[in-house]
Structure formats: structure tokens, C-alpha cells
Amino acid sequence: MSSLSRLPGIVTTDHVFRVPLDHGAPGGETIEVYAREVVAAGREHDELPWLVYLQGGPGGKANRPTGRDGWLDRALDDYRVLLLDQRGTGRSTPANRQTLARRGDARQQAEYLAHFRADSIVRDAELIRRQLLGADGRWSLLGQSFGGFCTLTYLSLAPEHLREAFVTGGLAGLRRSADEVYRAAYPRVARKNAGHYARFPQDVAAVRRIAAHLVEEPATLPDGGTLTVRAFQALGILLGGGSGSGVLHYLLEEAWVEGADGPELSDTFLAGAQSHLSFAQNPLYAVLHESIYGQRSVDPGATDWSAERVRAEFPEFDAAAALAGDGPVLLTGEMIHPWMFETDPALRPLRGAAQLLAERTDWPDLYDLSRLVANEVPVYAAVYHDDMYVDTAHSLETADAVARTRVWVTNEWEHDGVRTSGRTVLDRLIRMARGEV
């Protein structure tokens, strides 16, 4: 199925593909994967190379273009772009509390969700490539964040079908366990807290006041979720984006209102907090987040709620201890914790499946080091100097390991630089590929 639409400066075509749930059993159950083809208006019939955009996440759908802007504007100068809704997201067969309830108990749900990692996403892309370009066709990749992880998996599984790869904030540690990832992450998050409080010193008191209130009386969010002090700390996920520190500051500014019985958390604040904390629109992010680090040859044990376990090694993130003194309450990052499956209504029905995935010990390897060391596909990567989400040292370690990788290290942008910089970040990488930089 395909349908065509026109928006300012672009022409889009919808594609829906039928793929196996388990690529190891191609005759079994199938699901749908949706992709949106985008081309510059007036170039619909030109012979253009394809660029596949692999979205960050996991569990994020591709961006929805409303015209020719941002990184897409630069890409359309040279490419026909394919925006892939990775399996389980967007217009692909959805995986959420509503659809997973039909699959049976938690064990059946977990077995189903085990097929939604990067290796399956790459094999979906390969089926799509053959349908669009033919058996011998080659295309280029742009992987943002988790999309960069998927790019490394693609280079491991089917590099012969790639012309080039661009990676932004997504060079994963090839042999780093989940525990190693989070031990490196908490100090980065602490630095982002320090930067935020230096920028907005009044927020030290603002966060302490809210945290102290929530210790005594957790709040109810508009969707029925519970804002505990630890859930409030999870708003620190904003600190990894280019405008996130400002967004957090303005949210805190409107935290209180004078109610009938005195000061209370405002509806404005609670609705804003919910918009950043709820996983209703991307539940796979929470359910699969730690599994993206699971590889049997790296750490034969389970990921076992790594972020929660490792957090205990960093007592500076303990809100109660901070409130007992006079220092700042530190906010956390993109870590996923088991209590989220109690406080978030979108996740509560999935807590059994999430627990089974956390206990799983037989995750297949996602990266083939022997192929990556001998890689022949040109890779051009933007590494952000103090990326809160992906460790810079791990990224540079991977860049050294993967042959034909050229890196641009920059402190001009945060993790979302490819989106917030307009054309700049992607243009730099394309010019690197063309030998202009």
C-alpha cells in the first residue's frame, strides 16, 4: 500500500511492509512496518540515492515532516529520504498496553517484545530495501542516538548494502555492559545538574521545595499517575537536550498556586511534568531500554534493572539525604527504574513483561567486532563533547574500533543537535563525506 501527499516543499509517499515477527522463523507470525518516503517537490521522478533515517529511542517513531525544514531540508538537497517507524512504533503494528493485552500473560508479552531490538529493526530494513531498491540496491543511513546503535548493528549484519552511514550522538559502546553504561552516566548527569543550577541558581531552592513536599505528599497527575519525589527527579531527562535546561526552569517557575488550604502544586506544573514523564506515547522506550545493552558475550547475566542498582553507588542522587542538608537535590537522566511501572498508568499493565525482560540472560549479540574492525563502509559521526545520553569516551572507543570511521567532536550542540541545529550538523557530516571538510 502506498499513498502520496504534498506539503510545503516536499512530496511524501506512504509505504507499509509485511515482515516476520521473528526473522529466524520467516514462515511464522507477521507484523507491519510503516515508512514514509520524502522527496523534494519537483524531484519526484529524479534518480536520487536513498537515505534511511533511523530514529532515536528505543521505541520512538520517526519525525512527522510538515515541510522542508531542519536536517530534512539538508538531506533533501541530495537524497530521497525514508523515515522508518521502527517496529512497534508510530504507524507500524503498535506495541503498547492496549495491544499487548491481547497477547496473553506477561511471559507471552515478553517473548513477543524480545523481537523488537536493533537486530530485528535492521532485518526489517533489509526486507524493505529489497522491495524498494532490488536485491543489489544500496542505500545510506542516518542514525540519531539509538538509531546510531542500529547503524552499528546494520554494519555488523549487512554492510554490503550500505553506501555510507551518518551517525549523530549514537556511537554505542560495542562491548560495554549496562552496568558500565550507567556507571559512566550518573557522573555526566551530575555535571548537567551543576550546569543547570549555575545557570538558574534560584532553581536550587525551587527543586528542594517541590521535593520536600513530594516526600510528604506525592501528587496525582492528570492521567492518574503518581508524582513521587523520584518521579520528579526523573525530569532531569530534560537536561540532555539543547533547550531542556530552560524548559525545566520555566516549568519550575509555575510550580505553585495558592489553593483553599494554602500553597499546592499547580495544575500547570502537574500537566507539564506529566508531558515529560508519561510513557503513553512511547512505552517501548521504558520496556526495552536496558535490553539495548544486553549481549550474551559481553555480560552473560541479566541487565536486572541496572540503572536502579547502579544508582545506589551514587548517594548524591538520594533526595532524602540532600534534603537533610542544604545542598541541591540532583535530578536524574534517561534511566529507567522498576518503580516507573507502578507510577505510570501507561506502564502498569506491562510491569510483568518488563520484569521478565530484565531477568533475561540470552540476548543475542548486536555487534560483530570482526566485521566492524574490517568495515569498508564510510562512517561519519558527530560526537557531542559532554553528551548526557551517550558516553563520549565510549563513542570515541567505538570510533577507534570501527574501520573507516571519521569523527567530528563538538561542544556546540547537545545530544539532539541534529534536530536543534537546523541544517548544520548533517551538513557538516555530508561535507565530510564529500571531502569538503
Query: Is the confidence at residue 50, as pLDDT, over 60?
Result: yes
Over residues 358-388, the pLDDT tens digits come to 999 999 999 999 999 999 999 999 999 999 9
Q: Is 421 a catalytic residue?
A: no
Q: Is 362 a catalytic residue?
A: yes
Q: Tell me how long the chain is.
A: 437
The active-site residue out of 140, 344, 415, 421 is 415
Residue type, 272: G
Q: Which of 261, 326, 362, 370 is catalytic?
A: 362
Q: Which pLDDT tens digit goes with each residue over 287-329? A: 999 999 999 999 888 999 999 999 999 999 999 999 999 999 9
Q: What is the pLDDT of residue 301?
A: 87
pLDDT in tens, 380-427: 999 999 999 999 999 999 999 999 999 999 999 999 999 999 999 999
Kindly name the residue from 120, 145, 177, 306 that is annotated as catalytic: 145
**What confidence tens digit (pLDDT) does each residue in 17-45 have?**
999 999 999 999 999 999 999 999 999 99
pTM for the model: 0.96
Within 13 A of 111's CA, how many CA atoms are on the CB side? 7
**Mean pLDDT score, 246-263:** 96
Q: How far apart are CA 38 and CA 51, in angstroms?
A: 10
Confidence of residue 2 (pLDDT cuts 50, 70, 90): low
How do residues 127-178 score in pLDDT, each as one tens digit?
999 999 999 999 999 999 999 999 999 999 999 999 999 999 999 999 999 9
For every residue of 231-271, DSSP letters joined together read HHHGGGGGGGSTTHHHHHHHHHHT-EEEETTEEEE-HHHHH
Q: Is 161 a catalytic residue?
A: no
Q: What is the sign, positive or negative, of the torsion defined by CA atoms of 150, 152, 155, 161?
A: positive
* Arithmetic mean of pLDDT, 210-227: 98
pLDDT in tens, 68-114: 999 999 999 999 999 999 999 999 999 999 999 999 999 999 999 99
